[in-house]
Amino acid sequence: MSENASSSQGRPVVVMLSADGVAPPNNIGQIAEIAEVREATAETLAGALPGADVLFVWDIFSGALAAAWDAADALRWVHVAAAGVDKILFDGLRESDVLLTNARGTFDEPIAEYVLACVLANDKQLHETEAFQRAGQWRHRETRRVAGRRALVVGTGAIGRAIARKLRAVGIEVRGAGRTVRSSDSDFGEVVDSGQLADHLGDVDHLVMVAPLTEATHGMLGAAELAALPDGAHVVNVGRGPLIDQPALTSEIASGRITAHLDVLVEEPLPAGDPLWELPGAHISAHLSGDVIGWRDTLATQFLDKLRDYVSGAEPGPAVDKERGYVPGP
């Protein structure tokens, strides 16, 4: 940044948007040493924004900025402590010159490990083994070899690439699905057109959804795409719930034709009484695939590092492409 990065001679005003009951970053004192910090919730955000240079979205599921946008009279940078930015994006922010950054890099390996765990649990029938144990049954079965199975990773960003590398490491044949088709990719080998997803699902054993949620990806795994999956296919969603037509997926799981590990749902928490709670082929987790021990400390450190760059006059990138809704890859 060529201009002075603050409204007060190197000491920017940072609004930290948090939620009631959520602990502040562990390094809030260090942040306050180089910036004036104003703490806000969704209800108080509009009153905190006037004159602020930076918005630090610590409440990662908050969409409060849209309602308070008119009060953001000096805002130059918004940082979201999450990989996905769909909750914070709206037309006013897209059309502005405000820089948007996210927690790129923080969740890549933890989410990749989680996906690998889901794949292994599915092919080695660990859920069924646990159920037999709880029922007091000694039940011998034969499980699948993981090596040689086929996976399609939908979403070829940094997290998708980390997933591809983990799956390849255990011998799984991996392809990617994204916006740009290519036949030679360092992590995916082949990348097929995610806009024609149904055409590429006929031989998929493990379908991993990790695409960002945008207008183009909303509902991209619909009834037609699910029907194109072979019997016995396994779906893992660690992206966003609305990537998938959830009623259609529920129907396929209920039929016994496919199974799924779902870390994200259309509505979170999953409502009581939803059939996904009870279906044997559905395995639900509480949006935690990237939340390893110490993850909030990592996010706090990342923001402090970016803030130091900002104060020094450097751009605290990489920037999110606000039209696409994610940080473009190489």
- Give whole-number Cα distances, 218 to 179, 194, 260, 266, in Å: 14, 12, 19, 11
Report which DSSP code applies to 71: G
Strand (E) or helix (H) holding 47: helix 45-48
Task: Report how far residue 254's alpha carbon sits from residue 69's, in angstroms, rounded to the nearest whole number.
Answer: 44
The answer to whether 206 touches 236, Cβ cutoff 8 Å, is: yes
Is 296 assigned a catalytic role? no
| Strand order from edge to edge, sheet including 99-101 | 36-40, 13-17, 54-57, 77-80, 99-101
Is 268 assigned a catalytic role? yes
Catalytic choice (149, 240, 261, 283): 240
Catalytic choice (179, 218, 257, 287): 287
Task: Report how far residue 160's alpha carbon sits from residue 189's, in angstroms, rounded to the nearest whole number.
Answer: 13
Burial category of 55 from C-beta neighbours within 10 Å (exposed 0-12, middle 13-18, buried 19 and up): buried
Residue type, 172: I
**Per-residue b or e along 200-225, where b marks 16 or more CB atoms closer than 10 Å to that residue's CB:** bbeebbbbbbbbbbbeebeebbbeeb
Task: Report how far residue 223's alpha carbon sits from residue 120's, in angstroms, rounded to the nearest whole number.
Answer: 26
Is 240 assigned a catalytic role? yes
Q: Which tokens in the block code for residue 105?
A: 């890099």
Question: Checking DSSP bridges between strand 54-57 and strand 150-154, what pairing results, if any?
Answer: unpaired
Catalytic choice (43, 182, 268, 324): 268
Strand (E) or helix (H) holding 152: strand 150-154
Annotated active-site positions, please? Answer: 240, 268, 287
